Copies of this chain bind each other. A is one copy, B any other.
Amino acid sequence: MIERGARVELDALPLAIGVDLGGSNLRLAVIRGGALELATAHKEAVGEPRDPGTLIDRLVRLIDEARVRAGAAPDDVVPVGIGIAAMLRDRRGTVANSPHLRWRDVRFGEALATALGPRRPLGVYNDVNAITWGELELGAGAGVDDILAVYVGTGIGAGVVSGGALVEGATNAAGEIGHTKVRWDEHAAVCACGGRGCVEAYVGGSYVQARVRRELAAGTRSLALELAGGEPSAVTPGHVDQAAAAGDGWALDLWSELAPLLGVSLGNAIAVLNPARLILGGGMLSRTPILREQVIAATMIAAPAALTETLDVRDAVLGDDAGLAGAALLAARGVSIVS
Contacts and interface: CB of A to CB of B under 8 A. Distances in A.
A204 B5 CA distance: 36
Contacts of A304: 176, 179, 193, 195
Given A177-B271, A272-B272, A334-B1, A96 B167 contact: no
Nearest to A144: B170
Contact of A269 (B89, B164, B172, B272): B272
Nearest to A274: B169
Contact of A265 (B158, B169, B268, B306): B268
A170 B305 contact: no
Contacts of A306: 87, 89, 96-97, 171, 173
Contacts of A168: 162-163, 274
A272 B146 contact: no
A169 B176 contact: no
A272 B174 contact: yes
A221 B107 CA distance: 59
A310 interface: yes
Interface residues of A, number: 59
A151 B7 CA distance: 33
A8 interface: yes
A176 B272 contact: yes
A333 interface: yes
9 contacts: A144-B170, A145-B170, A158-B272, A167-B167, A167-B273, A170-B276, A176-B307, A193-B304, A269-B272
